[in-house]
Structure 1
Amino acid sequence: MPDDARPGLRYKRAAAARGPRPASPAKPMLRSLAIRDFVLIPRIELSFGPGLTVLTGETGAGKSALLEAARLLLGGRAEPDLVRAGAERAELEALFELPAEHPARARLAERDYPAGDELLVRRTVPARPGARGQVTINGRLATVAILREITAGLVAVSSQHEQRTLSDPDTHAELLDAFAGAGSLRERMAEAHRRLTAARRDLEVVVGEHARRLERVDWLRDRVRELEQARLRPGEIAELEADLAARKAGARLTGALERAAAELAGGDDAPGATARLARAEAALREAAALDPRLQRLAEETAEARAVADDAAAELAAYRDRHDFDPARLEALEDRLHLLRRLVRTHGGTEEAARARLDELRAELDLVDRHADHRAATERAAREAEAAALDAAGTLGAARRRAARRLSREVTAALADLGMDGAAVEVRLAPRTEGTAAGELRLAPDGAETVELLFAPNPGEGRRPLARIASGGELSRLLLAVKRVLAGREPTATYLFDEIDAGVSGEAARRVAAAIRDVARHHQVLCVTHLPAVAAQGAAHVLVEKVEEGGRTVTRARELSPAERVEAIARLVGGAEPGPKARAAAADLLRRAAADDEEA
């Protein structure tokens, strides 16, 4: 939009006429709405003040289009067919005032958007299907989701859709909590439920992990015991290998020595070399006695026997000095086999296996400590459940105290709206589905369900709204609820889209009074066809369909006091009102002014 069309500039002109704006408003307020190329609207700029602003016009003039634009500026879904024919895009802007402590300011700051007294939101809707529109918040780009988040709670659009929402029991607890002033208790319950959910999730993880660890306990203990008993030393395998190599060589030597000893010394069955040499020497000496020429040979044989005796003695002494125990060799081989297996299993070296022993010990110790962790987690879950049950009990008590009062006050408000004999009952029921007998199921909004039951006529049983209330009854019931909750709900601005549909006569006057009461606590923009409601407005916007340049367009403007009389007279007497209709309109305006003075 060009600068002269910016709502902020429009607001300044309107503010000058309505008086100075407070430095920081007590409640958030919609200050202006600017629309271009939206449905039949080429361009509309409207400024709003506190209290009730009524919007009137003939059926089909485009009043609901204004509220649809507001919905889009609150993050509603956009469709290309909302763009005015021939335009590339629709452009929408809204300017809000924010109190100093309003949550929207905190949400802006959290998202790193400028946060001050004003919130300016802009949105474009492209005409081309599939094209993406643009959203800005205080001059910075945003998404529709962020727009919804930032504007949450600023405006409530009450229309036939909200009437259907009122029929949904899931919304009734929030209504009761608003009436009870239990917003902080509701937040406490939601936080307690969040903590309980997190604690239960943590416990589930810890229990599963503990079970997996317990499955490894026996294996861990066996591995630790085996490694501890092995008493691994760095370099031990190399030492064993060298010792075994030497001992295996010694074993072969022992075999050779044993064979040599057997040949030299002989045995019981077969004489050895020394014995045979002794016999040979004796035989030769006997022969030498007969033939002296054999004496030299006998001496040489004696020398050979002596050498053999010396060799046998030295061999025996050598064997005594060197013990080659086969059992010791087997023990060393077993030890080397064990160490090699452990090292191969636990890292490849003695150092790695020793480090693995430390790891296994730590894991085994962790199982014991994890049991303590599980106990602590179970304790935390029990404490979270106790806190959630306490929060649910406190919230439930507040709800029970408020339920009867809300039932009485909404029933009384319905009577004021012309529904004498109608009755509303707020019924609470404990949540027990999916639980064991006697147990409660906790939800983020408490331990009970809340449902509004309705009886439109005396003597009829109270039944769920969705099954019994008509559209007109739902309209008045919604207004009755809003009237009772006026000042209690955090929402500061209501957009009522023909909430008064289907009423007339005395009921219309009562509906007008109810809307006026709501507007004393909230800013209200109300689309209406009722003269009594239109007369209650602090400001009156006329929405009309006109022909310009061969095209039908929607225009909207705020009416002067004299123009208001004429507009209300048309609501009373039709398109061509007569003197009586004008007099009736003037009388309605005088009564509304008198009501304001009395208030």
Structure 2
Amino acid sequence: MLTHLSLKQFAVVTGADLEFGPGLTVISGETGAGKSLLVDALGLLSGLRADSGVVRHGAERAELAADFDLADAASARDWLREAELDDEDEAGTCRIRRVIRADGGSKAWINGRPATIAQLTELAGRLVEIHGQHEHQALLSRTSQLALLDAFGRTDAERAAVARAASAWSELLRERERLSAQGDVSDRIDWLQHQLEELDREDLEPESLEALQVDHRRFGHATALIAACDNAFARLGGDDGPSISRVLGQVRTELARASEHEPRLGEVDGMLDLATIQVDEALAALDRVRSDLDIDPDTFERLERRLARVHELARKHRLPPDHLSTRRDAIRVELDELRGAGERLERLDDEIARAQAAWREAADVLGTARRRAAGSLASSTTELIGELGMGGGTFDVAFEPNAGDRPDPQGGERVEFMVSANPGQPPRPLRKVASGGELARISLAIEVASLGLDAVPTMIFDEVDTGIGGAVAHIVGQKLRALGVHRQVLCVTHLPQVAAQGHSHYRVMKSKSEGVTQSEVRALAPAEREEELARMLGGVELTREARAAAKRLLQDVV
């Protein structure tokens, strides 16, 4: 719901801050005072193209801002969250701001963050619906018409069933297209089989390849390793010549003889005992390593050949050796898929036929519900069109089957709202109705008949009462007020019968200051409303009769 609208240096308005509440708000004023400026401002905040002509003469820029309460706008809340333009501190509100410069440029913000005009359009489409101008009219869109009809018929369950069936059918079609695009896969199967056989000849698991590298390095340096082990064994514990073991034994013997005179030498002997144990363990480890070493040319050559084969496979597949096992597994999976492709294609044809039948069944159920809703909506709207001064006019909903054989999540048909404004005229699409006044009244009739089920929280009717008067004007006002029970409604009007039905009332007044025309927008108190209605009834001169009639209009409001 629109809660606040701010205008600065906009057209003939120097500055205005307007507060809005629920129900019907009417806006009146003298001809040329700028009543429709509020509608124009909301249109620009909705993403309409702007030019420098909207900037007040002599000003550098015009500034427009609108605040919305999102309690009744779930779709807008979801959009803001997905676009990451929501305000965490005030999640239940939204502020749209736009600045238009005198040079024609403009900038826009949503909740204080820079936004594109396309984003303004998407968000405003979920918040505001402007009736009366072709380019603003959401009901002219066939997509919006279908959405309104579905809302009127409460077809949520049927539409969900169609969407699920369409998704299942589409997935099967994509799978068939992917398999069919492969064509004759026999050559690829042979090629992949050859690759798999090459890879399967080797143990390519990463731990096996690591062990291969270690064995190859050990055998490649076997001679040097044997020499190093023999030399170390001789120096640590050899029988010929001095060795560490023999030296440690001799030292301990000599210290044992002297330790009776110096007890602390016992500690030294304990350390040497530990050293002797460590040397003995080192000798045992050397013996184990030496026994594993073998200068075997055949074994080394076998390791060389295996390592060469692994590196050749890595070059062939352009992968590091430790990634070959992953490539082998991927080839095996693809081979299994290709070998089963023919059988899968045969099964897919049956599955697709069943999915198509399921979609058609769900679409038929939805189509039946839509036609039932269309009859009721057409009857109610036609009756309201007659009440709104277009006697003999009719409203109908035309159905057109969807072209093509692809699954459509929206169902099996499209709809078009058809209107005949005068008796004897053939129905034409609503989007081709030429008269702005007729279009506004027809839109009003549709909205009232559907009780605002299109989910847009704020509806604006610009000059909806053009070309009518008397009893019809009174009925238009009543319908607008009734619509205001379900939606926030703003109406620019020049008829007192319509203005009297408002829950609140703004007047736009024009004045001149130092030769410059400017407009002022002001909320009217109850007494001021009576004066404004009298002016609308009697013109410049406010007679006693005009005031009495204005008072009666306000008293007759139910």
- TM-score w.r.t. the length of structure 1 is 0.65
Are the counterparts in 1 of residues 29 and 35 from structure 2 also a CA contact under 8 Å?
Answer: yes
Partner residue in 1 for 2:496: 531
**In 1, distance between residues paired with 2:177 and 2:514?**
71
Q: Distance in 1 between matches of 2:44 and 2:488?
A: 19
Q: 139, 149, 152: which one pairs with 1:176?
A: 149
**What is the aligned partner in structure 2 of residue 506 from structure 1?**
471
Q: Note if 1:576 corresponds to 2:541.
A: yes
Q: Report the CA distance shift for 1:196/1:472 in structure 2 as closer, same or farther (over 3 A).
A: same
Residue in 2 that maps onto 1:47: 19
Q: Is the 8 A contact 2:87 2:94 kept in 1?
A: no
Supply the distance in 2 between the matched residues of 1:174 and 1:478 (Cα, whole angstroms): 15
**CA spacing shift, 1:365–1:85, aligned 2, 3 Å:** same
Equivalent of 1:552 in 517, 532, 538: 517
Residue of 587, 594, 597 corresponding to 2:552: 587
Match of 1:417 in 2: 388
Distance 1:184 1:48, change over 3 A: farther
Determine helix, strand or coil for the equivalent of 1:133: strand
CA shift at 1:557, angstroms? 0.1
3-state SS of paired residue (1:479):
helix
Give the corresponding residue for 1:473.
438
Q: CA deviation at 1:226?
A: 8.9
* Structure 2 counterpart of 1:124: 98
- Residue 113 of structure 1 aligns with an amino acid whose one-letter code is D
Distance 1:117 1:97, change over 3 A: farther
Give distance in 2, aligned partners of 1:46 and 1:413. 32
Deviations 1:252-283 (A, max 9, x none): xxxxxxxxxxxxxxxxxxxxxxxxxxxxxxxx
Correspondence for 1:300: none
Tell me, in whole angstroms, the C-alpha distance in 1 between the residues paired with 2:116 and 2:26: 31
1:61 aligns with 2:37: no
Q: Which runs of 5+ in 1 are unaligned?
A: 1-28, 236-338, 436-440
Q: Secondary structure at the match of 1:99?
A: helix
Q: Work out whether residues 418 and 428 of structure 2, in 8 Å CA contact, stay in contact via their aligned partners in 1.
A: yes
Residues 73 and 126 in structure 2, CA contact (< 8 A), matched pair in contact too: no
Corresponding residue number in structure 2 for 1:161: 134
Give the aligned partner of residue 426 of structure 1. 397
Residues 106-505 of structure 1: pairs in structure 2 closer than 5 A: 106-110=78-82, 111=84, 113-114=87-88, 116=90, 118-129=92-103, 131-137=105-111, 139-161=112-134, 166=139, 169-183=142-156, 185-186=158-159, 189=162, 193=166, 197=170, 200-201=173-174, 203-208=176-181, 210-211=182-183, 213-221=185-193, 363=331, 366-370=334-338, 372=340, 375=344, 378=348, 388-389=359-360, 391-431=362-402, 433-435=403-405, 442-458=407-423, 461-465=426-430, 470-505=435-470
Change (3 A) 1:147 1:475: closer
Gaps of 5+ in 2: 203-208, 213-305
Note the C-alpha offset of 1:482: 1.1
Q: CA deviation at 1:224?
A: 6.4
* C-alpha contact 2:96 2:110 (8 A) present in aligned 1: yes
Q: Distance in 1 between matches of 2:79 and 2:431?
A: 35
Aligned residues: CA RMSD: 4.2
Cα distance in structure 2, aligned partners of 1:359 and 1:401? 59
1:309 match: none
Moved more, 194-203 or 485-494: 194-203
Q: Percent identity?
A: 38
Structure 1 residue 567: deviation in Å?
1.5
Rounded to whole Å, the distance in 2 between the matches of 1:167 and 1:183 is 22
SS in 2 for 1:418: coil
Local SS of the residue matching 2:107: coil
Measure the CA separation in 2 of the matches of 1:358 and 1:49. Answer: 66
Paired AA for residue 335 in structure 2: V
C-alpha distance after superposition, 1:406-462 (max 9, x if no partner): 11111111122233332222222322x344xxxxx5434321021223334455544
Q: CA deviation at 1:65?
A: 1.5
Structure 1 residue 360, shift from structure 2 partner: 7.2
Larger RCO (alpha carbons 8 Å, 6+ apart): 2
Whether the 8 Å contact between 1:91 and 1:122 is mirrored in structure 2 is: no
Q: Any idea what SS the aligned residue of 2:445 has?
A: helix
Q: Distance in 2 between matches of 1:92 and 1:174?
A: 30
> Once the 2 structures are TM-superposed, how far is the Cα of residue 572 of structure 1 from its aligned partner?
1.7
Query: Could you tell me how far apart the structure 1 residues matched to 2:385 and 2:359 are?
Result: 36
Shift of 1:556: 0.2
The answer to whether the 8 A contact 2:395-2:417 is kept is: yes
Tell me, what secondary structure is at the counterpart of 2:517?
strand
Task: In structure 2, give the amino acid aligned to 1:430.
Answer: P
- TM-score between both structures, scaled by the size of structure 2: 0.69
Q: Compared with structure 1, are the counterparts of its residues 475 and 97 closer, same or farther at alpha carbon in structure 2 (3 Å cutoff)?
A: closer
Of 412-421 and 194-203, more deviation after overlay is shown by: 194-203
